[in-house]
Amino acid sequence: MPSRSPWRDGTGDEREGSLAGGYRLSRVDEGLNGHGGVDDSLLDTVDLGTDPFLAVLPRRSPYTESGRVTLREVEQMGLIGEHHGSAQRYIDDALHQHGIAPRYVYRTNDNGAMRAMVRSGLGAAMMPQLAIASHDPDVVILPTTPAIAPRFIVLALPRKPLRTPAAEWFAEIAREVCAERLGPARGSG
């Protein structure tokens, strides 16, 4: 059996057998990482873009006309967030760094359910841009002041010649979608 190596996800976690380990065990052909850190000699990485964290508010929010909302104002509406995981930990850590103790009124790992709870007026959500459906007329998406540092979306692929045609095709689609939905990749600004 091939040896597993830890994958560093940029948050300080090292998870045995995650992305690189899955590749080595032939469980994955490619993987996305939202924190920009993949360190493995068998993988190539492609920076896909910068993914800012934005506030998702109900359309009837008093902040919709201002074009911006403070992190404190978002928290005071009651937060809708994910169950504990790396993206949620990143958001919570950023809020704590700005002196805000997050108060969650609802948690789910379903992006559509998060938007539905915001739409109903239960609270507000902080979400990465890539997870937000911008076509929802009943929510408003605003940048925050101060901003939460963006995450960097990176695609990890097996090095050639081990890369499959399906992985190449997936990478091309990921590049196109991310070019439309995200800010520029690191180093391309």
- Which domain CATH number covers 77? 3.40.190.10
* Residue 41 falls inside a structural domain: yes
pLDDT at 2: 34
* Residue 7 falls inside a structural domain: no
pLDDT at 66: 81
* Residue 166 falls inside a structural domain: yes
**From CA 168, how far away is CA 118, in angstroms rounded?**
37
Same domain, 87 and 104: yes
Residue 56 has pLDDT above 60, yes or no: yes
Q: How confident is the model at residue 130 (pLDDT cuts 50, 70, 90)?
A: confident
Expressed as residue numbers, the domain containing 62 is 53-145
Same domain, 36 and 57: no
Q: How confident is the model at residue 45 (pLDDT cuts 50, 70, 90)?
A: confident
Same domain, 60 and 141: yes
pLDDT at 134: 73
Same domain, 81 and 158: no
pLDDT at 63: 82
* Residue 109 falls inside a structural domain: yes
- Total domains in the chain come to 2
* Residue 3 falls inside a structural domain: no
* Residue 96 falls inside a structural domain: yes
The contacts of residue 168 (CB under 8 Å, 6+ apart) are none
Same domain, 176 and 164: yes
**From CA 52, how far away is CA 49, in angstroms rounded?**
10
Residue 99 has pLDDT above 70, yes or no: yes
Same domain, 80 and 96: yes
Same domain, 62 and 44: no
* Residue 17 falls inside a structural domain: no
- Please identify, among 109, 130, 145, the residue that sits at the C-terminal boundary of a domain: 145
pLDDT at 39: 59
Mean pLDDT for the stretch of residues 43-49: 85
Same domain, 71 and 33: no
Predicted structure pTM score: 0.75
Enter the tokens of residue 152.
Answer: 């960097």
Strands (E), 14-84: 14-16, 31-33, 43-51, 53-58, 69-70, 79-81
CA-to-CA separations, 188 to 33, 148, 184, in angstroms, rounded? 18, 21, 6
Same domain, 60 and 44: no
Same domain, 72 and 104: yes
Q: Under a CB-based contact definition with an 8 Å cutoff, are residues 71 and 57 in contact?
A: no
pLDDT at 30: 44
Residue 14 has pLDDT above 60, yes or no: no
**From CA 165, how far away is CA 30, in angstroms rounded?**
11
Same domain, 166 and 138: no
Same domain, 173 and 105: no
Residue 24 has pLDDT above 60, yes or no: no
